Structure 1
Amino acid sequence: MVTVIIPSFNSESTIAACLNALLNQDFAGPKETILVDSSQDKTPEIVRNDFPEVKLIHLEQKTDPGTARNIGFKESKGDPVLFIDSDCEAEPDWMSRMVALHQSTPYAAIGGAVLNGNEKHSAVAWAGYLAEFREFLPAYPRREVTHIPTCNISYKRKILQESNGFDPHFYPQEDLVFNHWLTKNGQKILFDPQIRIRHHHRTDLKQFLKH
């Protein structure tokens, strides 16, 4: 079984697209999708009504992404464990490419490229995209790296079991700290540009500057 874990907060505008993309994967094996959500909008209602196959863990108190991922992992069964964000859409072969590389290589973590998912491609969205993901563009070759953001990464289950998970004290860099721990302990991370997700960025300047 393969596990996909998604942290979520107030994702009503993007969650349906995210989950539909996961349902339309070309991967034929067993899988589970776990959404750890602390939204105050209609996100949990959308999931309950339209995506009954998704395991929804709804938290009343706003929860940081690292803690949400840790909670999701404790409730998971699969190997490998894939992470994506609620404002992202995975390409149809996203899951199958992740799984194939985990089965054929010893890499502790495998991830890929982040594409700009904004249809209008506003200047604000492009600024956010390049500022956050310039090192993870699809034009880069497959290579070993020291970090891939958790919107498009996967880990062998034993790696997560042997760790203390994502430390919320380092939010919003908890994934960077975790991957630093990983490589410091002799593990390797593979970047494959063919493993692709589309990220929807803020298009409002005030929200972008706040972020």
Structure 2
Amino acid sequence: MLNVTVIIPTYYDWERLQLCLHALSKQSYPQEYFEIIVVNNAPKDKAPENLIIPNNCILLDEAKPGSYAARNKALKIAKGDIYAFTDSDCQPKEDWLEVAINFFIDNTEVERIGGEISLFTKNEKANWFEIYEMFFAFPQKEFVTIDGMAATGNMISKKEAFDKVGNFDANLMSGGDGEWGRRAQKAASQISYLKDCIVYHPTRSSSKDILTKNKRLAGGYLSVAKKRGASSVVSLLVKGLIPPITAIKRALNKKDQPSKNKAIAILVCYYLKLSATFEVFRLLTGLSEAERI
């Protein structure tokens, strides 16, 4: 049996972390073969006394802001042959680890897995923002097959991939999974999308939640563009004003969604793209600071 380290950053999210830990306690993969490392990225916010921590789980603190700094803290002490990343607001399916490990055993050339992130809504009747999330949040299959990376809400990697690629960029507040994924691609680290390796994630249901995430992503995009040079920053601003053609095509191709929902998703998507571009401008001019995790 392969030993696994599950890594979970958390930030003022104890209630949902408890649900995540409960889901991990139900894993079909034997508990004695995996450890869980939770990293609290807000050390002043202590874990509640009633938090149920499994026997195979340890809790660390990381004061440096950002979920990638928190993940790196866990990587320093991880003992597993396999690193399984998820987030405190996710609930892994019971066979999450088992499916991933079996895939690695059967496909020895693969070093990384991007598993499905299955969304569910809080409200029986989805609002505009939930509809948008159902269309566009966490397109993991596209991340893997087109970009060669996986969102860390459900990314499972062999230790050897990190040995040759290095850890996450701890200075990034967002987009660190994409940045690490690009390095892994350059290092010829093979990745596969695994539909049956599932974690469940709630849709964001309020404009505040969506816009906070949008600001965070804008900061991540700008950080990556700055590394590439001034022309990339200018390109980011210019392209940010263009309607999201790829997203529009993706929405229109959703055969299981009514036309009304497609229109709503496209409108919200373009609004958020313009909003992110404005945030990039604010960051460049010093009118705003990068959002944390």
Using the size of structure 1 for normalisation, the TM-score is 0.87
Gaps of 5+ in 2: 214-293
Counterpart Cα distance in 2 of 1:144 and 1:204: 30
Query: CA contact under 8 A between 1:144 and 1:188: conserved in structure 2?
Result: no
- Quote the Cα distance in structure 2 between the aligned partners of 1:158 and 1:135: 22
The C-alpha deviation readout for 1:45-81, integer Å capped at 9, x for no partner, is: 25x741142200023x363111111110111101111
Query: Pairwise CA RMSD of aligned residues?
Result: 2.4
Unaligned runs of 5+ in 1: none
Look at both structures and tell me which one has the larger radius of gyration over its CA atoms: 2
Call closer, same or farther: CA 1:144–1:155 in 2, change over 3 Å.
farther
Map of 1:187 onto structure 2: 189
Deviations 1:59-117 (A, max 9, x none): 3x363111111110111101111000110000001000111112221211012111113
Which stretch of the first structure deviates more once superposed, 49-58 or 106-115? 49-58
Structure 1, 159-168 or 189-198: larger mean CA deviation:
159-168
Q: Which amino acid aligns with 2:115?
A: G
TM-score by length of 2: 0.64
Q: Which residue of 1 aligns with 2:75?
A: 73
Partner of 1:93: 95
Kindly indicate which of the two structures has a greater share of residues assigned to strand.
1
Higher fraction of helix: 2
> What is the aligned-residue identity percentage?
23
Aligned to 1:56: 59
Structure with the greater relative contact order (CA < 8 A, sep ≥ 6): 1 or 2? 1
Note if contact 1:12-1:41 (Cα within 8 Å) is conserved in structure 2.
Answer: no
Q: Corresponding residue for 2:211?
A: 209
- For the 8 Å contact 1:152–1:197, the answer to whether it is kept is yes
In 1: Cα distance, 2:58 partner to 2:21 partner: 12
Pairing 1:1-211 to 2, within 5 Å after superposition: 1-28=3-30, 30-39=33-42, 44-45=47-48, 49-53=51-55, 54-59=57-62, 61=63, 63-105=65-107, 106-120=109-123, 122-123=126-127, 124-136=129-141, 146-211=148-213
The number of residue pairs the alignment matches comes to 205
